[in-house]
Structure 1
């Protein structure tokens, strides 16, 4: 990948005009990225709003301004063509063309990644079980991935600060969501790794979070589910992980707790019942 190619790709991505699928289509039909940015390949059907926004943005900022903005915000980026881009993620359906990053990019070289997902309403039971399960996994060099949401995500990240943890956000880094995680964001940006497929200035939107979840599932070797309702965003992430052939580990819970309905259901469908680190380490022959 030439420097010119890389600059054009960042410039186009930073505008946030095309969808990720449209960018992938562009790169497939025009692998040399020779088409002028003002005139996407015919295979890409832009809406009138997209066309107007593209023309407006092409004259709004230069590549140097975008680069300076990233540098000023201490944000780096990688593309799908870079060697450090994880193979697991590259191979999923609709892999992100660009990932923006804060923190230790070397974590992306870790092939032992476990996603931890669960309810935003997760209670003391999740904290208790993750306190039992995670320390031995971290001691074996397993990197914990989650989505920096309230509840299970936040609990997992905080417990994993003693090892390696990656937070995948559903917004640009200038917009911490939820705001209650401001301090966690700062700690992870300083000593762990934050990832987003959204440029720093992009605010969180409802549809961003299912897109974020595909990255969480894509990066991971397996998915550990704590408390989750049967119908929830957590279970959507599980479905995506199953589509990508990831291992599913599930923490059992009380039969009368609605937040255990999802995890108990997964176990009945073949997920690995998980109450200690050994359940995961043995499955992975670690």
Structure 2
């Protein structure tokens, strides 16, 4: 069911114009949580994909709610890694539509157990001029902005301009020369700060719990087959591969990281 947001959201005071209307599906109480916005390319490299997952996952573990836009690539990785109960998606369409359709299943999960917001009435389709408005809202909601991967002159960089105008701190990953040129430029110009140590960064927002024995990784020590792991840990295997904990070679599972070691 689509509802209208009736409470005032102080974070949105930083926008050029406070939204005339806001609509939502899901748990409106997530707006009261500490929030961080994560954005980036629809086609991040593997390094950015892995770090997006790790950072969003660990921030959620210390109580942070992740805000993003539901797009393919960086956005959806961040939503999934945080877990639907710890994420806010800002839509660029009316909430009667699931856009992009390829992410329909996860968007519906966020609508049920997380929060989806939109400035657009039901029936509003995907239109180019909707997305700058959506992006401004994403940036405004977060305490800080993390840009995982971006090319120059991309939509992601227009969101950075919003963050600068709002006085938000901007964080990026350190990338190799020739990759994510826009974020490397932000570092060079001292507009953004680099995340060199994920755990140290996350500790700014809460204490990371000590690692407990991981049954999944213990099982993977035996180099089981992909099918065996999929049957026993159907959701964990994707997360572990994406975060670089395991690799799959010839349908066998091999551990890359275990309790911080490689």
**What TM-score do the two structures reach when normalised by structure 1?**
0.68
Deviation at 1:86, TM superposition (A): 2.2
Q: Name the CA distance, whole Å, in 2 between partners of 1:162 and 1:102.
A: 13
Q: Name the CA distance, whole Å, in 1 between partners of 2:206 and 2:96.
A: 40
Q: 1:87 to 1:277 in 2, by over 3 A?
A: farther
**1:94 paired residue number:** 17
1:156-171 to 2 correspondence within 5 Å?
156-161=78-83, 163-171=85-93
Q: Name the CA distance, whole Å, in 1 between partners of 2:148 and 2:14.
A: 26
Q: Name the CA distance, whole Å, in 1 between partners of 2:58 and 2:81.
A: 12
> Residue 167 of structure 1: SS of its match in structure 2?
strand
**2:38 paired residue number:** 116
1:77 aligns with 2:4: yes
Q: Name the CA distance, whole Å, in 1 between partners of 2:205 and 2:163.
A: 16
Q: Name the CA distance, whole Å, in 2 between partners of 1:202 and 1:158.
A: 26
Deviation at 1:90, TM superposition (A): 2.8
Q: 1:231 to 1:89 in 2, by over 3 A?
A: same
Deviations 1:48-101 (A, max 9, x none): xxxxxxxxxxxxxxxxxxxxxxxxxx011114xx2xx32111342212121100
> Do the aligned residues in 2 keep the contact of 1:107 with 1:193 (CA within 8 Å)?
yes
**1:247 paired residue number:** 169
**1:223 paired residue number:** 145
Deviation at 1:160, TM superposition (A): 1.1
Q: Name the CA distance, whole Å, in 2 between partners of 1:185 and 1:98.
A: 21
Highest Rg: 1 or 2?
A: 1
Structure 1 residues without counterparts, runs of 5 or longer: 1-73
Q: Name the CA distance, whole Å, in 2 between partners of 1:256 and 1:122.
A: 13
**1:200 paired residue number:** 122
Q: Which runs of 4+ in 1 moved over 4 A?
A: 282-286
**1:256 paired residue number:** 178
Deviations 1:79-137 (A, max 9, x none): 4xx2xx32111342212121100000000111x21111101112322221123322221
Q: Name the CA distance, whole Å, in 2 between partners of 1:203 and 1:163.
A: 26
Structure 2 residues without counterparts, runs of 5 or longer: 208-262
Q: 1:131 to 1:269 in 2, by over 3 A?
A: same
> Do the aligned residues in 2 keep the contact of 1:137 with 1:277 (CA within 8 Å)?
no
* Structure (1 or 2) with the greater helix fraction: 1
**2:104 paired residue number:** 182
**1:268 paired residue number:** 188
**Alpha carbon RMSD of aligned pairs, Å?**
1.7
> Residue 122 of structure 1: SS of its match in structure 2?
coil
Deviations 1:173-197 (A, max 9, x none): 2222211011011110111000000
**What TM-score do the two structures reach when normalised by structure 2?**
0.74
Q: 1:174 to 1:163 in 2, by over 3 A?
A: closer
Deviation at 1:253, TM superposition (A): 1.1
> Residue 98 of structure 1: SS of its match in structure 2?
coil
